Amino acid sequence: MLVVIRHGSGLSAELGVVGGHGGCRGLSQKGRLEALTQAEKLKAMGVKLELLGQSMILRSQETAEIIAPYLSAKLIEPSCGICELHPGPYDGQSVVSLPASVDPYSNPDVPYLPGAERVSDLNKRVKSYLADLADCAVERGVGIVTHLGVIRSIAEMTIGVDPDALVRATSPASAWIFGPSKLPGKRLCFQLLGASR
C-alpha cells in the first residue's frame, strides 16, 4: 500500500510567494489544522504506515511531522525525489513576477519557465524515488507527503485514472491510497484503492 498525502496549505501561498526549496515558508495555521485533521481521519480508517517520506520543501516536512505519529510511521529523510517542479530563479519571488498563464504540462520536455525544471525530469525523479520504495510498499505500508506535480506523476502511472481529474480533486492535506497493479511486468504501475479528503 502506498498512501500519497498532499501537504497542508502553505504560508508562501498566503503571502503570494513562489514556494520552492528556498521560498517555502512552511505551513500556515490553516495548513497545520488541515494536516492534523487528515492525520485523525487516516488513523480512524485504521491506516498504519511503517515509513513516511517527505520532500525537501518545508511544508511537506511540517505536514509529515504532524501526520507520522498518528500512523505509527517512521519518517524517511527528506528527498528531492518527491519535491514539486523546481521553479528555478523564480523560487521565493512574488507570484506577480510569473507570466499570467503558465502550463507546465503543455510540453513536458520544455521548462515551463526560463531556468525551471521540465515536467519530464520531474516524472523521472518521481519514478526513481518510487522504484526505491516499491518493494517496501508492497510488503508494508508506506506513505509520502508531497506536492500536486508529484501526485499528477503518480496518477499517470495509475490504471484507469485521469491525472487532471485526480489533481483537481486533491485539496490541501488530502490523501490517496494506491496499491500495486496486477499487470505483469509493470513494477511501477498502480491502482487507486481509496481516498481521504
Q: How far is CA 93 from CA 17, 112, 118, 180, in A?
A: 6, 16, 19, 39
138: helix, strand or coil: helix
Tell me the pLDDT tens digit for each residue of 48-102: 999 999 999 999 999 999 999 999 999 999 999 999 999 999 999 999 988 877 8
Residue with cell 498566503: 14
Per-residue pLDDT, 143: 95
What is the maximal distance between C-alpha atoms in the chain?
A: 47
Q: How far apart are CA 66 and CA 28, in angstroms?
A: 13
Q: How far apart are CA 136 and CA 74, in angstroms?
A: 13
Instruction: Give me the mean pLDDT over the 3-23 stretch.
Output: 96
On the question of pLDDT at 187 being above 90, the answer is: no
Tell me the pLDDT tens digit for each residue of 156-177: 988 888 999 999 999 999 999 9
Which residues are paired to 10 by β-bridges? 27
- What torsion do the CA atoms of 120, 126, 129, 132 make, to the nearest 10 degrees? -90
| Domains, in order of start, for the chain | 2-196 (3.40.50.1240)
On the question of pLDDT at 137 being above 70, the answer is: no
Which cell numbers in the block locate residue 122?
Answer: 520531474
Please give the model's pTM, rounded to 2 decimal places: 0.93
